[in-house]
Amino acid sequence: MKKISLFFIAFLTIFSLAIRLYRISEPNHYYFDEVYHAVTAEAFAKNNPAPYDPFSPAPKPGTAYDWLHPPLAKLIQAASIKIIGDVPFAWRFPSLVVGTAIIPATFLLAYILFGPIAAMFAATTIAFENLTFVMSRITMNDVFVTFFVVCSFIFTAIYFKNPKLKYLLFTSIFLGLSVASKWTGLYAIGAVFLFLLLGNIKEKRIDSRLILIFLIPAFIYLASYGQFWIQGHSIQQFIDLHKQIWWYQNKRDLKHSYATTPIFCVPQGLDGPRTFCPWILDARGVYFSYEQYGQKAGFIYAIGNPLVLWIGIIGISYIIGKYIEERENKYLLVLSGYFVFWFPWIFTPRILFFYHYLPSIPFLAVGMGYCLGQIYKTKLMVVSLFIIGLFILAFFYFYPITSGLPIDPASIKNYLWLSTWR
């Protein structure tokens, strides 16, 4: 079974890379938040200090520097631009690689926790999940934080079983890489620390080495601003930059047509009217791009695979039930990863978007993989295969509007299953 599962994940990863690579340079210009991220990565590649100044003027019409997020993901994108050139493929190539790597990472986490059958189901679920697909093809930082978070949970699971220092070091390093890509990584630091601390309390011991979970990420975060320090910026400028970031992250008056919280649509801002459209129901995606190709049009709509997300709720519910019944920490780890990346956002001080749900999806896939794996071991094996087949069919059904594939514009109505998708 081990050899079969390894062959399976190798094939699935290569196949997923190929379908993500197809037409990745389209559109051949900035779209959605690439007007911030790709522009900033280009400036980093030129060692331009302007992106570190919140008050720098826009480098090009319709763009702005992204000083709001830590620089690690953009530095990786800058390296790609430096090597390949300032072209769409170079902007998006790092997201392609890291976004695809989420698949084997999810496989490995599920394998460690629940074995090879659950791992194959979990990997297939995440491989054919449309939001993960979309975010793997755009110059943004979300797949980076997601991949690093899953890796940190992999080593957390290993460390919990075998508490050697090297596994805690790897856990802390990946936590550091996650928070150096996006502040969302702070949730992972809190979740991992509490998970391991509860394990210590249960065993009536204190592991002083857990301080590394805070110290190493802090060091990596500061190191991610290496270019900032080399350019001669001062500690006071670093503090001022973070004051500005904190101010913006707490702005309640921001508005956007596709703005949401984990529970509501809030197009007029947090203080405006709201309608029920929770992330867990895939109720409100984000239109990233509309591109005209003669008589056809390419749509890139950041929605999830609805069948994965809807049926995935059953998988997570099953994990909750198993934890209540058995009190095993492997279930708690999955639930921690799933809930920590969306539940705290209910109390958000600013508007969000559906793609902020992305870091939760690998954990949903692990939960779904375990659930399907349990069914597979029974006489209802065909049911688990049928469900995974539905996930794959739904992925390819929505592929045209999540990949920008040119289609008849009138056919878009066939894909808008929910009124809130319009």
Domain residue extents for the chain: 2-421
Q: For residue 308, which of 379, 401, 372, 258 has the smallest C-alpha distance?
A: 372
Q: Are 4 and 12 in contact (CB under 8 A)?
A: no
Query: What is the structure's pLDDT at 252?
Result: 87
Query: What is the structure's pLDDT at 18?
Result: 98
Query: What is the structure's pLDDT at 165?
Result: 97
Q: For residue 356, which of 346, 365, 366 has the smallest C-alpha distance?
A: 346
Cα separation, 153 vs 158, in Å, equals: 9
Which residue carries 């902007």 as its tokens?
A: 91
Cα separation, 11 vs 117, in Å, equals: 16
pTM of the model: 0.97
pLDDT tens for the 422 residues of the chain, in order: 778 999 999 999 999 999 999 999 999 999 999 999 999 999 999 999 999 999 999 998 999 999 999 999 999 999 999 999 999 999 999 999 999 999 999 999 999 999 999 999 999 999 999 999 999 999 999 999 999 999 999 999 999 999 999 999 999 999 999 999 999 999 999 999 999 999 888 888 888 999 999 999 999 999 999 999 999 999 999 999 999 999 999 988 899 999 999 999 999 999 999 999 999 999 999 999 999 999 999 999 999 999 999 999 999 999 999 999 999 999 999 999 999 999 999 998 899 999 999 999 999 999 999 999 999 999 999 999 999 999 999 999 999 999 999 999 999 999 999 989 98
Query: What is the structure's pLDDT at 208?
Result: 92
Query: What is the structure's pLDDT at 2?
Result: 79
Plot region of 359 (φ>0 → left; ψ -120 to 50 → alpha; else → beta): alpha
Query: What is the structure's pLDDT at 1?
Result: 75
Q: Which residues pair with 293 in a beta bridge?
A: 296
Two tokens, residue 384: 């688990």
